[in-house]
Amino acid sequence: MIFDTHAHYDDEQFNEDRDELIGAIHEGGVGRIVDICANADSYRAVLELAHRYPFIYAAVGVHPDDVGKLDEAYFSQIERAACDDKCVAIGEIGLDYHWMVSPKEVQQEWFRRQIDLARRLKKPFVIHSRDAAADTLSVVKDEKSWEIGGVMHCFSYEVEMAREYLNMGFFLGVGGVVTYKNGRKLKEVVTYAPIEQILVETDCPYLSPTPHRGERNNSSYIKYVIEEIARLKNMESVAVEEITYQNACRFYNLSDS
């Protein structure tokens, strides 16, 4: 059974066929999905999806591109939403220095605040880090984040950086990029990383794997990610599927049945 650990089915790209698609994906062997906040306003939508489908769970948090919208009153709303029983993690949170929608100092402050929220609620967190390797690692270490538990979503850095997170007990989120011809860095990371610390994800509707690159992504395509991980680690695909499912259940504190 497949566990898609990072999806965005609340995205408007699914407005035309969301329910039909989710039903077909589940019948096709995707056992569980975590739908994750991609902006400051999406927590209501991800929770609504999680309550509509027993096999969908939510992660509530504010993406670094959107932290400029936060103030104490709004953050209180996020905190209340994160207390929901179907919310299994805080995310996606972190730093994004590619677009620089908010200043670095603002991003780092709300990153720390949301790590603290995860600590208080005893829920793991999902990190988005783009062009911010050194500062992300610095915040994670400063906050002793290994005491909480986290996953580096859509991991995009070198093996040396992967080693830092793996040594702290973090998971690495691996998606469609591992199937790309130009995904050399991620292929090296997957080859190096213990299979017990890898989670599979789509980030749908984005980052569709080969042979569907450029199309709208969905959880049924995660099989291509699993097949590539299996090839890189000289394993059977069914073993990768089973182990990554167990990994996800362990990370999100869910039963494996």
Asked whether the CA dihedral 209, 212, 214, 219 is positive or negative, the reply is negative
Binned at pLDDT 50, 70 and 90, residue 257 comes out as confident
Query: Which two tokens mark 124?
Result: 């793991």
| 37-91 pLDDT tens trace | 998 899 999 999 999 999 999 999 999 999 999 999 999 999 999 999 999 999 9
| 121-165 pLDDT tens trace | 999 999 999 999 999 999 999 999 999 999 999 999 999 999 999
Q: What pLDDT, on a 0 to 100 scale, did the predictor assign at position 190?
A: 98
How far apart CA 18 and CA 49 sit, in angstroms, is 10
- The answer to whether residues 15 and 45 touch, using CB atoms and an 8 Å cutoff, is no
Helix 184-192 × helix 159-167 angle, to 10°:
40
- The answer to whether residues 210 and 180 touch, using CB atoms and an 8 Å cutoff, is yes
Q: Which domains does the chain have, with CATH numbers?
A: 2-251 (3.20.20.140)
Tell me the whole-structure pTM to 2 decimals: 0.97
Q: What pLDDT, on a 0 to 100 scale, did the predictor assign at position 256?
A: 82
Q: What pLDDT, on a 0 to 100 scale, did the predictor assign at position 49?
A: 98
Sheet holding 150-152, edge to edge: 2-7, 30-36, 56-60, 87-96, 125-130, 150-152, 171-174, 198-200
| Whole-number average pLDDT of the chain | 97
Segment 227-255 shows an average pLDDT of 98
Residues in the chain: 257
